[in-house]
Amino acid sequence: MGKHLVVIGGTAAGLSAASKAKRMDPDIKVSVYERTGFIAYGACGLPYYIGDLVKTEGKLADFTPDELKEKRDISTYIHHEVTKIDADSKTLDVYDLRKNEFFKVPYDYLVIATGASPIIPDIPHVHANGVFFLRTVEDGMAIKNAIKERNVKKALIVGGGFIGLEMAEQLSFLGIEVTIVEALPRLLPLLDEEYSNAVKKNLEENNVYLHTGTTVSEIISENGNVVGVKTNNGEIFDTDMAIVSIGVRPNSSMAQNAGLKTGIKNAIVVDEYMKTSDESIWACGDCVQTFNFITKRETYVPLGTTANKQGRIAGGNIAGDKSTFKGVLASQITKVFDLYIASTGLTVDQAREAGFLPEEAKIVKKDKASYYPGGKDNNIKLIFDKNTGRLLGAQAIGSESIAGRINLLATAITAGMTVAELSEVDLVYAPSVAPVYDPILIAASQAV
Ligand code: FAD
């Protein structure tokens, strides 16, 4: 009989770990406990499910528990919450949420992939009916139902990060009047100011109202239902629904109670093999602290891309591999109406703080040959070290084509390229696809 690997959390990180371990060592018995009713779902797809681009919640998930058992011989237990880790006896307390029963599960290896939860602001009536947080499929279903049941005409989004912006787009497409309230003085403050102003303009052009430098101080509720919000400036915005999206915090309290080491924002500390401070416990995804690829400094960057990679590494190492996680560039992208927004690597401030002498090169260039119809602007900013020329970061806004370009720039950063080397890369050209001097080559040449 093989060893027993138990995984807590059945989505990106947890199932990557489970699948990799089982693939490498078919003798391992793998059990996954998941407290929601769904496994293998992409939370990233939730805005598009709410916006009805994805019609049913089932489509968000790659596998049902039965399919996972059949295809990968992994047992998953949904509606099961792990409530305690006893690291000394290598036993978990598990609560069956449907049967209302507790039982114990022994493990040889444990993977904690409990993810993160939305931050709930400490303001009056934050749990009124019609106030939502978006993380799980059940959250998405509740929002989608409420839009119909409450006949939502106006929605207020608290927080103008990527999730808030994606929700603003999707709710607008449903014909709902959307207002975003953002506490910071400008949207996406890690972006170049000009770029964040362009995002603001884009929202306004699409009739989304934006209030920056504004904090929601109270949810106004009548008979337990949200009817508006009050801000720190004393303004009142009427609304039929509020979606609060002001960031996440790692789900790490159980790990902390088990004596595992935690770090930034109480995220679980792991080494590069994704192992925790306990010899038999690995952790991965949004519940762990990670480190920056360039600076090697500790950081907390909750992203699906990272969660999947870290899960594979944890699972592989449990099955006898010796692979390491190489760190994050925090590469990310989103689309808001027709504007794509992407970044990778360090900002100027982060680079300076890490001891570099950062400089930036900024260009605007069409994504096709200048004479070819339909070309759209690509705004690209490179951040590089003046002393060595090393590329440290990049930001871009513009057409869909910035996705490929930011990926190329992330690759260049990973390879340790200088802007001079980047300016000489042999990139593709055809009038209908890209200009003869790609925007990246122009930006890199400007930096040299
Ligand atoms: P989670 O996905 O949070 O999964 C953890 C699981 O553990 C949950 O299902 C939870 O129910 C379960 N769990 C927790 N505690 C217990 C317990 N005690 N017992 C049993 N089960 C438990 N990232 C990107 O890279 N790109 C995107 O475009 C993007 N868009 C996003 C859009 C939205 C709306 C949201 C919410 C997130 C988005 N993300 C995106 C972030 C991405 O979804 C997360 O980084 C990713 O899901 C993290 O995976 P995880 O497995 O670590 O954690």
- What's the pLDDT score for residue 1? 66
- Which DSSP letter does residue 274 get? S
Nearest CA to ligand 1 atom 4: 115
Contact 35, 22 (CB under 8 A): no
Report residues whose beta carbon is within 6 angstroms of any ligand 1 atom: 8-14, 33-36, 43-44, 46-47, 81-82, 113-116, 134-136, 163, 251, 254, 285-286, 302-305, 307
Q: Which atom of ligand 1 is nearest to the CA of 286?
A: 52
Q: Which of 44, 105, 274 to mutate to test the pocket of ligand 1 (most atoms within 8 A of CB)?
A: 44
Give SS3 for 308. helix
- What's the pLDDT score for residue 42? 84
Torsion of CA 206, 118, 296, 9, to 10 degrees: -120
Partners of 268 in beta bridges: 262, 288
Q: How far is C-alpha 214 from the chain's CA centre?
A: 24
- Residues 390 and 266: their CA atoms lie apart, in Å, by 33
- Residues 324 and 295: their CA atoms lie apart, in Å, by 17
- Residues 212 and 184: their CA atoms lie apart, in Å, by 6
- Residues 240 and 222: their CA atoms lie apart, in Å, by 11
- From 3, 37, 42, 44, the catalytic residue: 44
CA distances from 423 to 55, 297, 363, 437 (A): 44, 29, 14, 10
Q: Are strands 154-158 and 241-244 parallel, antiparallel or unpaired?
A: parallel
Give SS3 for 163. helix
Q: Which of 31, 33, 34 to mutate to test the pocket of ligand 1 (most atoms within 8 A of CB)?
A: 34
Q: Are strands 109-112 and 4-8 parallel, antiparallel or unpaired?
A: parallel
What residues contact residue 262 under an 8 Å CB cut-off, 6+ apart? 252, 255, 256, 268, 269, 289
Cα 228 to middle of ligand 1, angstroms? 29
Nearest CA to ligand 1 atom 18: 82
Nearest CA to ligand 1 atom 14: 114
Q: What angle do the packed helices 12-24 and 304-318 form, to 10 degrees?
A: 30
Cα 123 to middle of ligand 1, angstroms? 25
Tens place of pLDDT for every residue, the chain, 448 residues? 689 999 999 999 999 999 999 999 999 999 999 999 999 998 999 999 999 999 999 999 989 999 999 999 999 999 999 999 999 999 999 999 999 999 999 999 999 999 999 999 999 999 999 999 999 999 999 999 999 999 999 999 999 999 999 999 999 999 999 999 999 999 999 999 999 999 999 999 999 999 999 999 999 999 999 999 999 999 999 999 999 999 999 999 999 999 999 999 999 999 999 999 999 999 999 999 999 999 999 999 999 999 999 999 999 999 999 999 999 999 999 999 999 999 999 999 999 999 999 999 999 999 999 999 999 999 999 999 999 999 999 999 999 999 999 999 999 999 999 999 999 999 999 999 999 999 999 999 999 9
Residue 336's φ and ψ, nearest 5 degrees, are -125, 110
Instruction: State whether the Cα torsion 263-267-271-277 is positive or negative.
Output: positive
Q: What is the ipTM of this complex?
A: 0.99
Strand order in the sheet with 131-133: 131-133, 241-244, 154-158, 177-181, 209-211
Contact 107, 88 (CB under 8 A): no
pTM equals 0.97
287 part of the active site: no
Q: Which of 286, 309, 325, 343 to mutate to test the pocket of ligand 1 (most atoms within 8 A of CB)?
A: 286
- What's the pLDDT score for residue 2? 85
Cα 10 to middle of ligand 1, angstroms? 9
Contact 430, 403 (CB under 8 A): no
Strand order in the sheet with 216-222: 216-222, 225-231, 236-238
Q: What single-letter amino acid sits at 22?
A: K
